[in-house]
Structure 1
Amino acid sequence: MRIALYEPEIAGNVGAVLRLGACLGVAVDLIEPLGFAWDDRRVRRTAMDYIDHVAVTRHADFAAFRATTGTARTILFTTKATQSAYDFAFAADDILLFGKESAGVPTDVAAVCDVALKLPIMAEVRSMNLATAAALALGEALRQTGSLPGQG
Structure 2
Amino acid sequence: MPKIVLVYPEIPPNTGNIARTCAATATELHLVEPLGFELSDRYLKRAGLDYWPHVNLQVHPNLGSFYQYQQSRGGRLIGFTTKSTYSYVEIKYQEDDWLLFGSESQGLPETLLESCEHTAKIPMLHDSVRSLNLSVSAAIGLFEALRQLDHLSFPAEIK
Whether 1:87 and 2:59 are equivalent positions in the alignment is no
Give the AA of the match of 1:77: F
Greater Cα radius of gyration, structure 1 or 2: 2
Partner of 2:30: 29
Shift of 1:149: 5.0
Shift of 1:106: 1.6
Whether 1:140 and 2:144 are equivalent positions in the alignment is yes
Identity of aligned residues (%): 39
SS at match of 1:21: helix
Q: 2:132 aligns with which of 128, 131, 138?
A: 128
Whether 1:47 and 2:51 are equivalent positions in the alignment is no
Partner of 2:64: 63
State how far apart, in whole Å, the 1-side matches of 2:113 and 2:105 are.
Answer: 16
Shift of 1:124: 2.3
Q: 2:102 aligns with which of 99, 110, 120?
A: 99
Give the AA of the match of 1:133: S
Partner of 1:6: 7
State how far apart, in whole Å, the 2-side matches of 1:62 and 1:12 are.
Answer: 22
Q: Deviations over 1:48-69 (max 9, x none)?
A: 1111101000001111111111
Question: TM-score normalised to the size of structure 2?
Answer: 0.92
In structure 2, the gaps of 5 or more residues are none
In structure 1, the gaps of 5 or more residues are none
Matched residues, number: 152
SS at match of 2:70: coil
Give the AA of the match of 1:101: E
Distance change in 2, residues 1:151/1:90 (3 Å): farther
Question: TM-score normalised to the size of structure 1?
Answer: 0.96
